[in-house]
Amino acid sequence: MMHSSVRHAACPLLFLLVLLPAACKRTAVETRPTIPLVREILAEKSGPRVALLRDRRPQPQAEITIIGGEFACDVLSERLSVRDLRDNVDGRFAPDGLPDFAGETFACIEDGAPYAELVKSKDEEELRRQAVLRVLCALDTVVHISPYDLEGLSVKAPTKMIVFADPFLTEYGGFDVDTLFHSTGCEIPVVRPVESMIDRAFAQSGRGDLSVGFLCDPQFDSTGIYERIFARKAKEFGAKGAASVAYGMAPGDSTLHRFLNRYIAEGNTRPLDVILIDNPSVDPELMKTELAEIVSVMNESSITLGRQVSREFFFLNTLDEVSDLCYAFLRENNLFTHNIAKPQVSIFKPARRPEAEDGSIILIPGSYVQN
């Protein structure tokens, strides 16, 4: 059986510009209620929070902000900083020796917030609130050099694009951030790579009964967060026959073999159409090589594993998704800095504002944080 197994995840710029509005979509306010924090901000006629949001537009000299766990932010920003897949003059896929994001700064708001624990304890509202607070910090220019710096003695650039590098932020914060931005005219795009990979998978396959596997970080194993996101997206597409599984896999030899063997062990027989890789420590190219070996070697084990993937099987991964969408947005809207310099990465840690009764947070540069 022949498989179209190594479809390249990167797409032409035109397709990306079609996909981009969905990936960074600003949905209309739904009938379900948003959280009190958002309602409170929307009720304000003036003040610093309203000033951050109202009619906000991305500017070239602003930063690309990545929000999530420490490991995901570090790896994603590092790999984006050295990525060279495109010609920086015309945007075509042709490395030119200059990083694709030359002159850009990736500002990482990273922490170890127990998002999954908040869900387990049924405190979903607090998780939604934390997502909004981090987005407000991304929009701001004030930085505090310590938890006891009440005035904010340092500054950073504002953001021109936000990336959610955590599936819990996507699922529990996306609606409230969309509501806040939509209602205030804020045009800063928020990329939610898990959602946009699902959008791309449906578009690329052309099928409604899509069978999807998520290969995620082990910390998300058995949390159900990916299945929840997929079920919601499938409902939006009207894809009643779509199904998904999510397995946390540590990097190592035979990652795809381990994934498919677990899939079989759990009693699944339906071939997978796509695996979405949302684990920054997994090399997508090694996964493609491993798949090519599985479908080419004619022994009993490979034949068994090969039956678990469809003829049109393909991979998508977070790094390609974030890179492609950020690049397309910046190029289409002429928002690159156009500085000939290596990309920079800055780290910020959120901390609770001292003596704040509302639980608001501040940002502290990573260099000031004492371990």
- Reported as a single tens digit per residue, the pLDDT across 140-187 is 999 998 888 888 889 999 999 999 999 999 999 999 999 999 999 999
DSSP secondary structure letters along 48-112: HHHHHHTT----TTSEEEEEEEHHHHHHHHHHHHH---S-TTT--S---SS-TTTT-EEEEEEE-
Query: How far out from the chain centre does Cα 218 lie?
Result: 17
Using alpha carbons, select from 129, 148, 274 the residue that is nearest to residue 199.
274
Given this model, what pLDDT does residue 25 score?
A: 57
72 within a domain of the structure (yes/no): yes
Are residues 216 and 275 located together in one domain of the fold?
yes
79-86: which pairs have CB atoms within 8 A and are 24 or more residues apart? 79/280, 79/319, 80/106, 80/319, 80/322, 80/323, 80/326, 80/343, 81/106, 81/342, 81/343, 81/344, 81/345, 82/343, 83/319, 83/323, 85/10, 85/323, 86/327
Are residues 68 and 136 located together in one domain of the fold?
yes
Given this model, what pLDDT does residue 355 score?
A: 73
159 within a domain of the structure (yes/no): yes
215 within a domain of the structure (yes/no): yes
Are residues 232 and 340 located together in one domain of the fold?
no
Residue 344 corresponds to which tokens in the numbers above? 């920079």
Are residues 111 and 46 located together in one domain of the fold?
yes
* 105-111 β-sheet, strand order: 190-191, 159-164, 63-69, 105-111, 344-352, 361-365
Are residues 313 and 354 located together in one domain of the fold?
no
Range of the domain at 140: 25-188+336-366
> What is the maximum span of the chain, computed from C-alpha positions, in angstroms?
69
102 within a domain of the structure (yes/no): yes
Beta 309-317 vs 211-216: how paired, if at all? unpaired
DSSP state of 266: T
Are residues 44 and 170 located together in one domain of the fold?
yes
Confirm if 247 and 262 have CB atoms less than 8 A apart.
Answer: yes
DSSP state of 218: G
Given this model, what pLDDT does residue 318 score?
A: 97
d(CA 126, CA 29): 20
Please give the tally of structural domains in the chain.
Answer: 2
d(CA 281, CA 71): 9
Indicate the residue type of 35.
Answer: I
Using alpha carbons, select from 275, 285, 332 the residue that is nearest to residue 12.
332
Residue 50 corresponds to which tokens in the numbers above? 């309203």
CATH of the domain at 291: 3.40.50
304 within a domain of the structure (yes/no): yes
9 within a domain of the structure (yes/no): no
Confirm if 333 and 25 have CB atoms less than 8 A apart.
Answer: no
Distances (CA, A) of 309 to 55, 201, 287, 291: 47, 15, 13, 9
d(CA 86, CA 326): 13
Are residues 163 and 219 located together in one domain of the fold?
no
123 within a domain of the structure (yes/no): yes
Are residues 183 and 291 located together in one domain of the fold?
no
Which residue positions in the chain have pLDDT lower than 70?
A: 1-31, 368-371
Are residues 37 and 159 located together in one domain of the fold?
yes
Are residues 151 and 223 located together in one domain of the fold?
no
Partnered with residue 69 across adjacent β-strands are 111
6 within a domain of the structure (yes/no): no
Confirm if 92 and 331 have CB atoms less than 8 A apart.
Answer: no
Are residues 253 and 159 located together in one domain of the fold?
no
Are residues 177 and 313 located together in one domain of the fold?
no
